[in-house]
A = this chain, B = another copy of it.
């Protein structure tokens, strides 16, 4: 379930006019901006953007970028983009960031449905005049990490629910062997994780736990040291249970000295319209504190207001 609170009936033209007024004069009326855009679903936001363009011959997103700044601007910019476009932007930023952002690429490749991932690849073409896999391949060193990342984003997994139990056993063993040997050959592990359907992979992960007495993610966590093993760990977690994964993204973002605002933005903006309510519940169960309260302590200003709005907090 989503946390976004949006009314059923809205008036895009009036809202575009209200936003235009909010930009007028010295400073911007951020409260109004949040009150409107923080409470509109993806279709409503696109309608407002379209109405704004028609009324003022100006792209609302560009205007927001010039009016706002910092974490608030970055969050609102991502929020205003259509999801496939947003993921294309986040993937592109992650590629430029290098190995410290590989997890963002893995997230997009493994959390989205096969058809959604294709749509992101199409959006990436339109924005960058290159393919997503092309940019990843050019910007990674050859070897396992490139093969894994390119394989994950290029995959078009079968989406059906069929399970081959015998295969799950064989491939759980292959994954076990591949993880055990630190300098082993990872080609087969990459093949399995980049080509099998998600349902089949879940069966394989379950079989791994049954046969080897520990979950594959725990086993990998004990091991994960290089970029490849970390990316493998992220891929398995995103495929296995992306809500638990995002709970931990948020937890880690606030655990460190120096909050990781980008991670908070990414998780909240990506999931507010999808399943943030479930992620919030997981967060509360795990931490005995409400996500909104934890976030409220870590961030501030208009950025805080926007994030809490997207998290469904009543003001």
Question: Using an 8 Å CB-CB cutoff, how does the interface string of A128-158 with B read, 1 for contact, 0 for none?
Answer: 0111111001100011001100110011111
What 0/1 pattern do residues 183 to 204 of A give for CB contact below 8 A with B?
0010110010011110000000
Q: Indicate which residue in B118, B162, B195 contacts A131 across the interface (CB closer than 8 Å).
A: B195
In the bound complex, residues from chain B placing their C-beta under 8 Å from that of A197 are: 130-131, 134
Q: Which of chain B's residues have a CB closer than 8 A to the CB of A158?
A: 125, 129-131, 134
Residues of B within 8 A of A125 (CB): 156, 158-160
- A195 to chain B: which residues have CB within 8 Å? 131, 133-134, 137-138, 150
Determine if A78 is an interface residue (Cβ-Cβ < 8 Å).
no
Query: Quick check: is A103 within 8 A (CB to CB) of the other chain?
Result: no
**Chain B hits for A151, CB < 8 A:** 150, 154
Residue A121 lies at the interface, judged by CB distance under 8 Å to chain B: yes
Q: Which among A121, A134, A138, A157 has the greatest number of chain B C-beta atoms within 10 A?
A: A134
CB A305 to nearest CB in B, in angstroms, measures 39
Which of B131, B146, B191, B196 meets A155, CB within 8 Å? B131
* Copies, count: 2
Output the nearest chain B residue to A132 by Cβ-Cβ distance: B156
Contact B155 A187 (CB under 8 A): no
Contact of A154 among B134, B154, B160, B188 (CB under 8 A): B154
List B contacts of A129 (CB < 8 A): 158, 160, 162
Shortest Cβ gap from A172 to chain B (Å): 16
| CB atoms of B196 and A156 under 8 A apart | no
The residue on B at minimum CB distance from A167 is: B138
When distances are taken between beta carbons in the complex, the residues of chain B under 8 Å from A188 are: 142
Please give 19 more A-B residue pairs, beta carbons under 8 A apart, in addition to A129-B160, A131-B197, A138-B191: A118-B118, A118-B156, A125-B159, A125-B160, A131-B156, A131-B158, A132-B156, A133-B195, A134-B158, A134-B197, A137-B191, A137-B195, A142-B187, A142-B188, A142-B191, A146-B191, A147-B147, A150-B151, A150-B195
A143 to B147, CA, bound (A): 11
Residues of B contacting A156 in the complex (Cβ-Cβ under 8 angstroms)? 118, 121-122, 125, 131-133, 154
List residues of chain B with CB within 8 A of the CB of A142: 185, 187-188, 191
Query: In the complex, A132 Cα to B194 Cα: how many Å?
Result: 12
